[in-house]
Amino acid sequence: MDAGELRGISLFKGLSDQQLSDLVETGTEVFIEPGVTLWDEGEPADFWWVLVDGAVQLLRHIGREDTVVGKMDVPGRWAGGFRAWDESSVYLATGRGREEGRLLRVPATALRGLYAEWFPFGVHFIEGLYGTVRRVESTIRQREALATLGTLSAGLAHEINNPAAAASRAVDALEDASQMLLASVGRLSRTGITPAQFAGLEALRADLTMTASVPDALALADLEDLLTDWLSARNVERDWIIGPTLAAAGADLEWCTRAESLFEGPALNPVLEWVAAALSMEKLLSEVRESTRRVSELVAAVKSYSQMDRGSRQNTDVVEGLESTLVMLGHKLRGGVEIVREYSDDLPTIDAYPGELNQVWTNLIDNAVDAMDGVGTLRVATLSDGAEVTVEIGDTGPGLPPPVAKRAFEAFYTTKDVGKGTGLGLDIARRIVVERHGGTIDLESVPGRTVFRVCLPLVQA
């Protein structure tokens, strides 16, 4: 490789001919072959690689797959060499040939020596800047990740606790109901009930159900009092339990009269007790079924949100990701937040990394709720426009002043109080949308209406 070949690369602008010659003599020309690995993620970054021509893919091993995280396709793009400034540095991604071309490979130790000779002050400056930025960004990103994980975990625990507690209460009550049912069966057997009478009793019970619609609370209370008085007048034991149960199941005085016509005298008590116990068990089993179904839905939403059982890049249903994110943030969406969904009926799937998109939706929805201070309307909309899908997340908060909106996607820029924001949420969202998916993200904000708009291509390049 001739030093003159580097003269037209903007990276080396300002270097003298002698400096370029020293750089070429120190380095080695490496040819790029498509599909051939040049350096590996996690290995010591002992070399500085500068693209002269051709193209190199940058990949990271995520889960069970190698995921493309970037590319070097413009002369002067470089990778590695970090050990010139930090002895513990490693390659952040694997470099693999994409198009035939050439690279200049310079040992990190030689790079440091050249810099020390050419820019002695620059070496100290870069060392300090590199170390400081690396420590600060690493600490803040860890803190942001832990804070987000803690918030989601607390919310999920709250969401699961309600149906789990309901199921636990229902199971405890089932024990009492089953004992009441067994006791009533024993008392029925001692009354000498005939098969024809039992068939009539079963027909009466079948007319009632605890899952039927009930009247309003005032009408239900009046019916409970009416049935309790009717039972008390006939010396039915535990009328304060049987009466409300029959009323909730839709029984009325006409139903009670039919039961009395089949079972007169002492037999009426165990008959009505058996019916009430059977209805109570039906209701409690329904509560257990509904509670466990809700827990299963939450677990499914967590699996969808985390993508823990799926590949990293796949055909992705954007609405599914939005809905799982809303479930994960459900604890923040109660009270004064109204959710308006405007989903397109013909929305196609897209080629994307769904786990990363869920991180985008989490940041945008969480910011929207914070902007409204927990009171307002959250609008989540999707639409398709030919080659891309658009997602809009809006809120009715006070809006962002133009100077703030202009800097919204800058790293480390935040308008939240100390300890409540790191300024990385929207920066990460921008990187995922723009750099990982080749899409766009922007915002419109006026008092009372802020909308973040994310456009994603159906197929990635």
- Which residue ranges does the chain devote to CATH 2.60.120.10? 3-118
Identify the weakest region by mean pLDDT among 23-27, 36-40, 416-420, 424-428: 416-420
What is the CATH superfamily name and number for domain 3-118?
Jelly Rolls (2.60.120.10)
**pLDDT tens for each residue of 64-103:** 677 788 889 999 888 887 777 777 678 888 999 999 999 9
More confident residue, 334 or 30: 30
Residue 415: what pLDDT?
A: 63
Residue 113: what pLDDT?
A: 84
For residue 45, give both structure tokens: 């970054």
pLDDT at 59 over 80: yes
Class of 309-457 in CATH: alpha beta
* Percent above pLDDT 90 for the chain: 18
Q: Taking residues 200-215, what's their average pLDDT?
A: 74
Half-sphere exposure of 112 (CA within 13 A, CB side): 18
Q: Taking residues 428-433, what's their average pLDDT?
A: 86
Residue 105: what pLDDT?
A: 93
- Which residue ranges does the chain devote to CATH 3.30.565.10? 309-457
CA–CA separation, 98 vs 166, rounded Å?
A: 57
